[in-house]
Structure 1
Amino acid sequence: MNSSMSISATKISAFLMGFDNNYNINIAEVIDFSKVNKAILSSPDNRLSGLEVQKIIKAAEALTKDKYIGLHQGQQLSKGFSNILGHVLMNCSDLNECWTKYCRYEKLIDSTSISSFQLLKNKAVLSNITLDSSLKDNIQFSDFKLSGMLSYIKLLCGKNIKLIEVHFTHPKPRNICEYEKVFQSSILFEKSSNALIFNSNLLSMPVLEPNKSLLHLFEKSANNAIEELTSNAYYTTKVTKIITEELLKSNLISIEAIAEKLSLSIRSLQLHLHKENTSYSELLKNTRKNTAVNYLNNRNIPIDEIAYVLGFSEVSAFHRAFKSWTGITPAKFRLNYRTF
């Protein structure tokens, strides 16, 4: 989905981890306060826009009254991984391989920002830049990203690392004690990127119990997921699949029902499809046409039954629709046995 930057539901679930214990606030309360679709975190396959993430972060900050909630929730990531990227990292051999693959597969959990990994003399620099305009100036989001990256290192290697410097793009807060407590390093603000900088010798730190066979399997899954995610037809594919599945059950599904299945508002779904140069009505028409062609190629299925399965109240309506799609009637198509 390269036309629309987004964050996976698992990433936001990780941000909200521990709210019950740490703040005595239920996650449902945060989502409700944010006015974001309540079902958005119901599936790890769901994706949130930058604006939706911004609303959730602002709601969390308002309810908890924690000015450093980004830093604190980033520390919570040390409790474990819950996505394909995490499984890839856990099976790398050392920290160098981890961050190389992190940058490669980061978009699986977050395409609103981009990370890079480079060596400058004896320093390793893991930097991140927020691309999404809704999150670019969100301090909590930047804090969560860097605090979370440091937590990943602790989890993967079972050790803390001594940082040389930490950079943030946002202005310096009045009090940076909490930053110094989390990173135990020199903290610089208003820099060109958010970054963790440490001695390059630490890149050889081994990961706890890596498994090369599992790494191969998880990378294969990650590559497949990226191929789907970066497809220009991400939502087109999902909506078409849902329409097809419902037609096979003789159900003509509405855009409202599809949006609910995808945990999106109707407007959000319409916008996603518009960015992919299509619409619900266009996908419904094409799916009905393709399904009709498949059924008509089977001479054992009566035309009136095909009309019923495709959701037409009258056979004549199906005839008119099919002729508008193909230029010929269903009967003539079947007679000629042509595939369009």
Structure 2
Amino acid sequence: MPLTQLHRDHRQGLNAHQASTGPDNTDDAETALYLAVWAHSEDRWELARHHAHRARTLDPHSEFARLFHLHLQEGHAPVYDSPEAFSAFIRAGGNLQLYRATSRALQQIYQEQRPRALLDIGPGDGLALLPALRAAPVHAPHVDLVEPSTALLEQAAGALTRNGFAHRAFAATIEDFTTDRPDTGWDLVQSTFALQSLPPRRRRPVLGHLASRTRALAVVEFDVAPVEDPFDPDWFRDCAGRLEGGLREYGAERDLVGAGFIIPVILGHFATHTRTNHEHSVQDWVHDLEGAGFTDVQAHHLCDYWWEPAWIIHARGHRPA
């Protein structure tokens, strides 16, 4: 069955079970994969496993199909609950170049801004932050870490302690943190690939609060064009192609990274109730920051990446120096 027909069925309100007219109605891997993603978006786990297995059988070379099936076999734990897959993800493949570029950009900002107090929102285990602090040729700032994953936060805080950097660690979301400490301020607030975790409707109040509590802001995010319909065949094929390339950047850790992190993150694009990332375009990031009260907002290309290019966005807050 062609994807165009399945897409019409999806737009007309059919569910994945109705679109699956028989247990082996799919005669190509692409159709089976599409049906697997569709079933997963509706929490039809057995049907999703069936079609993912079918896709893997029809195309044994598809890492998307193989790792999707492995993910469905292993369970559905939130991707940040266990740090192993995420830590392996950021330490191999295209992330090696991406995180080096990010750390260099942060180092340059420290040199120019010379912050005494720094807030890092969502630092993970500190992979981008720590090299920037080590290399910055200025007095290191006091760092506040705000990270909802306790396991990742402990790793980041431990690394800062071992390297002699003064810091405080808060196991919280940025929303809870700003609510609990509304008057705390910083010279610089930074976030690398973390603010995308906030849905857009909840992002603006956080950004508005930060604009009044910092002198400067640095955000690193991917430039992702709006996706009107992820089940559109053209977008689905493009997504699957990029995903296949990204998965193949990993070697021995591919199963861990693919099934434990990349696949569940990508699947969130197709099901709002399981979504962990809410990426959007650089233009939208600039618009959000300006709407929240930041000024002199500037965006610069940082690094190409298999998913989408990464950009760094600078802005001025209105906290007095």
TM-score band w.r.t. shorter chain: under 0.3
Which structure shows the higher helix fraction? Answer: 1
TM-score relative to the length of structure 1: 0.24
- Using structure 2 for the length normalisation, give the TM-score: 0.25
Larger Rg: 1
